[in-house]
Structure 1
Amino acid sequence: MTDHREVAVVCWPGQSPRSEDSGLAALVAAYHQRTEAEKGEPVADVGGLPDRYRAEITDPRTAFAGDVVLVALLGNTAVGCLVLTSPASEPSEIKRLWTDPEFRGRGIASALLSAALAHAAENGVGTVRLSVWEWRTGAIALYERLGFTVTDSWDERDQLVCMQRAV
């Protein structure tokens, strides 16, 4: 089991200054650029991303307004992120789980997921769901270890695996 005591998970933006927005924006940009490349549609830079993804990078406060955004920190460096939607009705959905590749293997994704599940439980959410590309086998294995199971798809995209778990 990975020891992730050195990882601090904070709710963003919290009381932080706006200058910390860049850490989250960089993580979300890396997530989207890697995803597009894995789908066979690589982009040279953020400008090549679809508008809805570019908006998450250029103005994360607006794009994620109403959602819970968790950022993993090692020291003062943002090394991972996760968005937990807060819909008016259940279930909540985990999106944009990303760990900077340079910092993988340190329990960062596990810490983010544990914090998200704890937040959901504290707020009376009964079910959390997520979707993941089928080629991300390491992520799927992590989700399964944390009790997520494959469920009927709510998304029409090919190669997308939908999972959920009770909180």
Structure 2
Amino acid sequence: MTDQHEVAIVRRAGQDLSPDDGLSGLLAAYHLRTQDEKGEGVERVEELPERYREEVRDPRGAFGKDVVLLAVSGGTAVGCLVVTGPVAGRCEVKRLWTQPALRGRGVASALIGAALAQAGESGVSAVRLSVWQWRTGAIALYERLGFTVVESWDGRERLVCMERAL
């Protein structure tokens, strides 16, 4: 998948996250890029909205009840994805991020595959996610992996809600 190292997907219970696992850096990159894409760009994590700053500062606290999947290459976290705990027969996929230099090499697909396996093990009947409409590459990936657009459960404009039955 990468020129130098294969990528392994590591599953961690949110409460088992450690400060040196690389998740904070991935979340910072994710949120900074998202703010920029929204036209609300900021330079530093400290300028992000509080809820996102808190995820970066304390991923263990933010995702303690969830499962975090890390894509690791050569001992370095290069991608992440959060799978929420089951609610009403569904899990939700959040914070899918792959370092830009590694995009197109199957890292995101591997993370989503691991998320679907995790969701299946938790006994849910469906996995859902939301994605900004300008992230057309991500939407195409989700569609290739069996997700379909559904009625929005989130009131934010320009957000596409998708779901896949298991």
Q: Normalising TM by the smaller chain, what interval?
A: over 0.9
Pick closer, same or farther for the CA change 1:12–1:156 going to 2, 3 Å: same
* Alignment match, 1:35: 34
Residue of structure 2 in register with 1:159 after alignment: 158
The residue matched to 1:41 in structure 2 has which SS? coil
Q: State TM-score, norm by structure 1.
A: 0.92
Q: Which residue of 1 aligns with 2:123?
A: 124
Against the structure 1 CA distance between its residues 89 and 45, is the aligned structure 2 distance closer, same or farther, given a 3 Å change threshold?
A: same
Q: Distance in 2 between matches of 1:38 and 1:14?
A: 28
Is 2:13–2:65's contact at 8 Å kept on the other side of the alignment? no
Whether 1:139 and 2:138 are equivalent positions in the alignment is: yes
For the aligned residues, what is the CA RMSD? 2.0
Q: Partner of 2:9 in structure 1?
A: 9
Q: Secondary structure in 2 aligned to 1:156?
A: coil
Give the aligned residue type for 2:6: E
Distance in 2 between residues matched to 1:13 and 1:117, nearest whole Å: 15
Say if 1:10 and 1:120 are closer, same or farther in 2 by CA, change over 3 A: same
Tell me the TM-score normalised to structure 2 length.
Answer: 0.92
Q: Which runs of 4+ in 1 moved over 2 A?
A: 12-21, 87-90
Shift of residue 12, structure 1, vs aligned partner: 2.6
Alpha-carbon distance change, 55 to 14 in structure 1, aligned in 2, over 3 angstroms: closer
Identity rate, percent: 63
